[in-house]
Structure 1
């Protein structure tokens, strides 16, 4: 076992720190039909995201009351980096879910939100072309909704079905949940460290730590990063972790 230490003398110039385009309150917003998925798939997915340190909006469990989407929910969608849309058999039967979907797609176009469709127990073609339970749902909506809402919802379903997503078909649910949460985590890692880029003098110290790690060697090493408080020890450790 080898050990080494690295001095962490690092300075940051406030003018050199690249600010993110916007700040997000949540990493993930989950859109789903409660009666299909709340106590099973959604609860497992929420737990997996939380274990990975991914902040997922959760108060909506108690907000789905009445026929109209709440302002709080709309704000939560806008404040989320990812919109994870779990398209289950009864998703389109809920006007609430369809309004959520429309809002999420607006946020993708206007705010750069990332879309993650999950086809849970449905075929993407049924979503795209409004067939099966999706077609049945729209037959009922046609009796009560105006043409503007119907067109908006149909367009949203067609659009979301065009994105590359995840399917539950022939999938172990535990594996599917882990794969979804892991893929989001991989995308989040560089985004979470955007404020650490362009730190003055950081590159040489990160390279020094990586060299001491001895990647590919068949041994175990403890690396101590020493220095006074505020010199950037944690910053170096985090950048090295993300780089590897």
Structure 2
């Protein structure tokens, strides 16, 4: 019982939150970045690797964002079509997290709330939150990546190095 409690307590500490659209990036950049950061001693949060059966999705995701010091938003072509992704982005921006955008097969100017989100959002206030968060991300220097021509190892290395630098600055 004590080992399970210790494991759960250790798992609840997060350095960096990885926000991504699973169908676009979970088996590529999100998974590779999670692995690299973990190998470097950083505690990343990635939904598929950080949550367990029985966890409440919004509770665990929201806790991961609150605990983190850095947020990485992996903007893929369908990222803004997800209420979950935009909720994560809005939380990171509202909490003042250091945001590192990765523009994966998308240009910052192309980011906009998707039609599915517009009809699924719970309130006009949520849509306004999402729009503010997208605006903030567009105005933040990020990393760009073309999945057909880009070097995956270079993207993961560059992103990991930026995350480490941000974490070191946050400790000062």
Note whether the superposition's TM-score is higher than 0.5: yes
Q: Give the TM-score band, short-chain normalised.
A: 0.7 to 0.9
The answer to whether the aligner puts 1:176 opposite 2:152 as a matched pair is no
Conservation of the 8 A alpha-carbon contact between 1:69 and 1:99: no
Residue among 118, 124, 130 paired with 2:102: 118
Change (3 A) 1:191 1:126: closer
Provide the rounded CA distance (Å) in 2 between the counterparts of 1:190 and 1:96: 29
Given the two structures, how large is their TM-score scaled by the length of structure 1?
0.57
Quick check: 1:42 aligned with 2:18?
no
Question: CA–CA distance in 2 between the matches of 1:186 and 1:152?
Answer: 28
Provide closer, same or farther for how the CA distance between residues 157 and 190 of structure 1 changes in structure 2, counting only shifts above 3 A.
Answer: closer
1:222-244 Cα shifts (integer Å, max 9, x gaps): xxxxxxxxxxxxxxxxxxxxxxx
What is the TM-score with the length of structure 2 in the denominator? Answer: 0.79
State the Cα deviation string for residues 149-175 of structure 1 (Å, max 9, x = none): 222212211111110111103531210
Per-residue CA deviation, residues 50-70 of structure 1 (Å, 9 max, x unaligned), is 121111124x217599xx951
Partner of residue 212, structure 1? none
Counterparts of 1:97 and 1:83 in 2: how far apart (Å)?
Answer: 12
Please give the alpha-carbon distance, in whole angstroms, between the structure 2 residues aligned to 1:155 and 1:190.
26
CA contact (8 A) 2:15 2:68 kept: yes
* CA distance in structure 2 between the partners assigned to 1:180 and 1:95 by the alignment: 25
| Alpha-carbon spacing, 1:64–1:121, altered in 2? closer, same or farther (3 Å) | farther
Residue of structure 2 aligned with 1:106, choices 94, 104, 118: 94
Task: Indicate which of 147, 163, 166 corresponds to 2:140.
Answer: 163
Alignment of 1:219-234 (within 5 A): none
Q: Does 1:56 align with 2:56?
A: no
Q: Is the alpha carbon distance of 1:143 and 1:173 closer, same or farther for their aligned partners in structure 2, counting shifts above 3 Å?
A: same
Matches within 5 A, 1:68-217: 70-108=58-96, 113-127=97-111, 130=112, 134=113, 137=114, 139-145=115-121, 146-169=123-146, 171-189=150-168, 191=170
Distance in 2, Cα, partners of 1:93 & 1:115: 20
Q: 1:64 to 1:147 in 2, by over 3 A?
A: farther
Normalized per residue, the structure richer in helix is 2
